[in-house]
Amino acid sequence: MGRIRVGPSGWNYEGWRGDFYPGDLPKSRELSYVGDRFDTVEVNGTFYALSTPKSFRRWYGAVPAGFVFAVKGSRYITHNKKLKDVSGALANFFAQGVLELDDKLGPVLWQLSKSLHFDEDRVEGFLAQLPHDTDAAAALARRHDDRIEDVAYGPGANHRLRHVLEIRHPSYLCEEMISLARRHGVALAFSHSAEWPYLEEITAGFVYLRLHGPGRLYGSPYGEEALRRWAARAEHWRNAVEPDDAERITNRKPPERKERDVYVYFDNDQGGHAPREAARLAELLR
C-alpha cells in the first residue's frame, strides 16, 4: 500500500524553542528530535544556498532508517535564472552533496516565483533536464563548475528520483501545464494558501501536499476540523482515488496506480503551528 508521510517544512526555527523543542535541547539535536517524531521533513536551506557533502552526511546520520528528506531546489534556478539556461546550475545543485542522502533522499521540490508566468517552451526545457534516478543525477553532477569545491556523487546505489513543481502564478492553470507535467512524470504540488492558486491535478505516481496556512501566510493554524478533512483527502490519494470535490482544471484521469505515496508538509511554521499540526495529522492518519 502507498505510504503517507507527514512532517514540517524545515526544522531550524528559533520560535520553536521552548515550544516544540525543549528549551534545553542543543541546536545540534534539533533534526534528531524531528526524526524521532516524524518520518519526513523538507530541507529549506538548499533553496537559499548550496550546501556541502559534510552537511548532507550529518543530516543522514541524524535521523533513523526509513526517514525521507524532501529537498528544495535552488532559487538561483527557479527565481534568478527563471528555469532558463540552467544546465550548469543543475549540475552544481546535484554535485553539492545532495546524493549523499542516498536512500533517505525523497522528492526534489522546485518552487516557482509567484511572479513567473507560464511559458510552455521554458517549462518543457527545464523538465526535460531533470534526472529521474540517482545515476542520471550523478552523471549530471559531474558537469559541475568551479563553484563546487567539495564534490560528492553519492554512494552509487541507484534509485528513483521524484520531482515536484510548485506553481504560484494563475497562468499555470492550463491544459498545457498539466500535459507537460504528465509527460515528464513530475508532480504538481497541491499548494494550499490564501495567496496563490490551489489545484489537485495528479500528474505523477505520487502526491505532494504543502500546507502554508489557511489565512495569514506561514502563520495561521488549520485547526482540528480542517486537519480531519486533509486526513480524509490524503487517504483518498493513497488509495489512488480522488475526493468527490477534487479541485481540477481538466477531466483527464490521473496516471493509473493501485496506490500512491503521499507527502504532506506543513509550512505554517510561525508560532510553532507546523510541527504541532503535522503531529496531529499523523495521529489522525494512524
CB 250, CB 199: distance < 8 Å? no
CA–CA separation, 264 vs 24, rounded Å?
29
CA–CA separation, 221 vs 128, rounded Å?
37
CA–CA separation, 127 vs 233, rounded Å?
28
- The confidence score (pLDDT) of residue 243 equals 96
Instruction: Decide: pTM greater than 0.75.
Output: yes
Residues 6 or more apart whose CB falls under 8 angstroms from that of 28 comprise none
CA–CA separation, 76 vs 74, rounded Å?
5
Q: Tell me the backbone φ, ψ of residue 212, rounded to 5 degrees.
A: -95, -5
Q: Is 36 exposed, middle or buried (0-12, 13-18, 19+ CB in 10 A)?
A: exposed
One digit per residue, pLDDT tens: the chain, 286 residues? 799 999 999 999 999 999 999 999 999 999 999 999 999 999 999 999 999 999 999 999 999 999 999 999 999 999 999 999 999 999 999 999 999 999 999 999 999 999 999 999 999 999 999 999 999 999 999 999 999 999 999 998 999 999 999 999 999 999 999 999 999 999 999 999 999 999 999 999 999 999 999 999 999 999 999 999 999 999 999 999 999 999 999 999 999 999 999 999 999 999 999 999 999 999 999 9
Q: DSSP class of residue 73?
A: P
Cell of 188: 504538481
Q: Tell me the backbone φ, ψ of residue 283, rounded to 5 degrees.
A: -65, -45
Domain boundaries, the chain: 4-285
CA–CA separation, 219 vs 230, rounded Å?
18
- The confidence score (pLDDT) of residue 83 equals 98
Which CATH number describes the domain made up of 4-285? 3.20.20.410
Alpha helices in 63-186 (DSSP H): 75, 87-95, 120-127, 134-141, 175-184
